[in-house]
Structure 1
Amino acid sequence: MLLRRELLAALGAAGALPAGAALAQGGTQGASWPTRPIQVVVPFPPGGQADVTARPVSAALERVFRQAMPVVNRPGAGGIVGTASVARAAPDGYTALMALSSHAMLPESERLQGRTPAYTVEQFAPIARFTADPTVLLVPAGSPWKTLADFVADAKRRPGVITYGSAGNYSTLHVAMAMLTGAANLDLLHVPFQGGGPALTALLSGTLDSLASGPGPASVHVKEGKLRALANWGSQRIPGFEDVPTFKELGYADVEFYIWTGLFLPVATPSEIQERLRQASLQVCETDEALKRALDTAGSPIAYLDGPAFVNFFNEDSARLVRAVQRIGKVD
């Protein structure tokens, strides 16, 4: 598939640089990196899954590099604006991207809309995957829906009335819900937001009826009794959400979806810098107890992958999600 060939070629091109060429490309930065703060761009507003992961990861990496790693939220167009800004950034190791599984879906959505993509996946080098969480279907605790069966039955009685939010058209949250509406033959009203954080805020305020969310941002609100989780998109029940069944358990065999978070650099970043960041990422995931506690508390335990394993996962997952975007088709 084209996506796989493009990504492997890009990773191979970056990894093929010999040490001398990498240092020549990065100048003294290759030998001494980092000598100044490293900006981590989250292409969504605060409060969503990428943001919840980026902040403790950046704090842990700061302890390794002894350099600041500020998280910069740069939302817009469902993640396209911030991601494209990293694609255009200098490949010097001082601008990184914390992306979601929508990373490969967004260029395909641009093509469906008849636009030239603002970025393509071959512009990025995958460094490390930190989390991989199935989404959960959330509704306000005060809603009449106690179970998924209640929700589905009401949606069938009132087609086009029950709303669901997302982080924008073709975002991870949109695709997850599209999988459900297709499998259950539901007509729900899609309300796109600038990111998962604002959509979750709308759900909490009662201005939105339902939302697919990563378990991290949702966990505290479910525990506090503000939201109710009806089902999850994973292959098994989620720690901390043990009483929430999977869609597969409830008879929807093809409804499976994960929100993962991964760190990327511009593909032309010297290979030595890529490897240093990759090794530091592995180090903090294995040894930094504060990072582990933060992600566990957020409901998104570490699910680390790097190198070829992350590339292979990215290719397989992205190919499936691109097909899902193509099934959604053009959104007016």
Structure 2
Amino acid sequence: MKLLKALAISLITLLSFNATAAETYPSKPIKLIVPFPPGGATDIIARVVAQRLSIDIGQTVVAENRAGAAGVIGSDLAAHSAPDGYTIVMTTSSTHSIGPLLNPGIPYSPTKDFTPIIYLASSPQVLIVPLSAPYKTVQELIDFAKKNPGKLNYSSAGNGGIPHLSAARFAAAAGIQLTHVPYKGTALAIPDLMAGRIDLMFDSMSSGSPHVMDGKVRALAVTSPIPSPVLPAVPPIIQTVPGYESLTWFGVFGPAGMPKPIVEKLNKALNQTLKDPAVLAQLQKLGFDAGGGTPEDCAEKMAKDTAAWKKVIEDAHITIDQ
């Protein structure tokens, strides 16, 4: 009887604490961890959203880059932070769908160690090559690779990220051999691509398209099933390689165990952020399709994306070392 009474008192105290915390939340700045280096798609969307979210949530939101291991370091840091709503993280297909499938040693579970808050957006990638490349279409690239097996290389922002997986999937679907050269971030890979030291690269629309528009690299195709409004003249890969598609999703998660009222406050504010015309215009300009919805919608999006990539990985026999 005494034990039940003690448990009841503990539960009431916890509920009271959570309710009080939710009422005063947020009372200090919120840290939004970006688990990738500056300049990439995740960093760009995080800063667009953080700026407006600061207004909608009524407190400063600071985007903080904690890069390393294809997003694992920053994501793991967020997973082991206090679940009080003051540390949240930008999640992606790389950190919460693909990475755990390719690397069983990842120190966190996307489903057990995080609280979904909102699905933010999705975006295709663009296949870019140096201006000096002898191929000007996807078919010419495939033909060149088949005539020169193993000669072409491709860069990525790191092992296990979606640019890596998109390229590996492309190689498998097209029946060609490509050598993977991982970099520590997109910004470091682009100069080598421009110089011709890298033969091709799958880059996010937000970071790759400006180089295309500036005439510094050549875009061969996009990974969406239809052309992107950012690069409307660039055809989808699926026109040459049937069935090919690769979209990156972006979300905001917190550590596991966040009080529901705080999750609801963040979700409401982020949905408001995504409805702001200025934010929508920025996202569209950068090649993002805005998301939104409930935390449950976010969890469902992650589950579906994980299942789709699992099939791709198994069918194409893709490993993290490719």
The CA deviation string for residues 270-305 of structure 1, in whole angstroms up to 9 with x for no partner, is: 11111111111111111x233123222222242334
The amino acid of 1:267's aligned partner reads: A
The CA deviation string for residues 218-261 of structure 1, in whole angstroms up to 9 with x for no partner, is: 121111111211112212111122211112212x2231110121
Q: Confirm whether residue 92 of structure 1 aligns to residue 84 of structure 2.
A: yes
Indicate the residue corresponding to 1:165 in structure 2.
Answer: 155
Secondary structure of residue in 2 paired with 1:278: helix
Indicate the residue corresponding to 1:76 in structure 2.
Answer: 68
The CA deviation string for residues 305-329 of structure 1, in whole angstroms up to 9 with x for no partner, is: 4333322222111111133344213
Q: 2:119 aligns with which of 113, 129, 133?
A: 129
Question: Aligned partners of 1:62 and 1:297: how far apart in 2?
Answer: 21
Q: 2:36 aligns with which of 17, 37, 44?
A: 44
The amino acid of 1:108's aligned partner reads: L
2:230 touches 2:285 (CA, 8 Å); kept in 1? no
After superposing the two structures, state which structure 1 stretch, 168-177 or 308-317, moved more: 308-317
1:20–1:184 distance in 2 versus 1, CA, 3 Å: farther
State the identity %: 32
RMSD: 2.1
1:205–1:274 distance in 2 versus 1, CA, 3 Å: farther
The amino acid of 2:147's aligned partner reads: R
Question: Aligned partners of 1:144 and 1:20: how far apart in 2?
Answer: 70
Note the 1:1-332 alignment, pairs <5 A: 23-24=15-16, 26=18, 28-102=20-94, 103-111=96-104, 115=105, 117-122=106-111, 123-250=113-240, 252-286=241-275, 288-326=276-314, 327-329=317-319, 331=321
After superposing the two structures, state which structure 1 stretch, 45-54 or 306-315, moved more: 306-315
Question: Aligned partners of 1:22 and 1:258: how far apart in 2?
Answer: 41
Question: Aligned partners of 1:131 and 1:22: how far apart in 2?
Answer: 34
1:195–1:323 distance in 2 versus 1, CA, 3 Å: farther
The amino acid of 2:100's aligned partner reads: P
Question: Aligned partners of 2:203 and 2:13: how far apart in 1?
Answer: 43
The amino acid of 2:98's aligned partner reads: M
The amino acid of 1:162's aligned partner reads: L
**Cα shift at 1:23:** 4.9
Question: Aligned partners of 1:20 and 1:302: how far apart in 2?
Answer: 39
Indicate the residue corresponding to 1:15 in structure 2.
Answer: none
**Cα shift at 1:70:** 1.1
1:69–1:181 distance in 2 versus 1, CA, 3 Å: same
Secondary structure of residue in 2 paired with 1:328: coil
Question: Aligned partners of 1:47 and 1:54: how far apart in 2?
Answer: 11
Gaps of 5+ in 1: 1-18
Count residues with an aligned counterpart: 308
The CA deviation string for residues 35-71 of structure 1, in whole angstroms up to 9 with x for no partner, is: 1111111111011111110001000100112321111
1:210–1:21 distance in 2 versus 1, CA, 3 Å: farther
Secondary structure of residue in 1 paired with 2:158: coil
1:58 touches 1:71 (CA, 8 Å); kept in 2? yes
Question: Aligned partners of 1:69 and 1:210: how far apart in 2?
Answer: 36
Question: Aligned partners of 2:278 and 2:33: how far apart in 1?
Answer: 22
Runs (4 or more) in structure 1 with deviation over 6 Å come to 19-22
Secondary structure of residue in 2 paired with 1:41: strand
1:195–1:305 distance in 2 versus 1, CA, 3 Å: farther
After superposing the two structures, state which structure 1 stretch, 228-237 or 319-328, moved more: 319-328
1:22 touches 1:30 (CA, 8 Å); kept in 2? no
Secondary structure of residue in 2 paired with 1:50: helix
**Cα shift at 1:28:** 3.5
Question: Aligned partners of 2:283 and 2:175: how far apart in 1?
Answer: 35
The CA deviation string for residues 136-157 of structure 1, in whole angstroms up to 9 with x for no partner, is: 2111233222111121111112
Larger C-alpha radius of gyration, 1 or 2? 2
Question: Aligned partners of 1:25 and 1:176: how far apart in 2?
Answer: 45
The amino acid of 1:134's aligned partner reads: P
After superposing the two structures, state which structure 1 stretch, 76-85 or 120-129, moved more: 120-129
Return the TM-score normalized by structure 1: 0.86
Secondary structure of residue in 1 paired with 2:102: helix
1:64–1:246 distance in 2 versus 1, CA, 3 Å: same
The CA deviation string for residues 54-89 of structure 1, in whole angstroms up to 9 with x for no partner, is: 001000100112321111111111111111110111
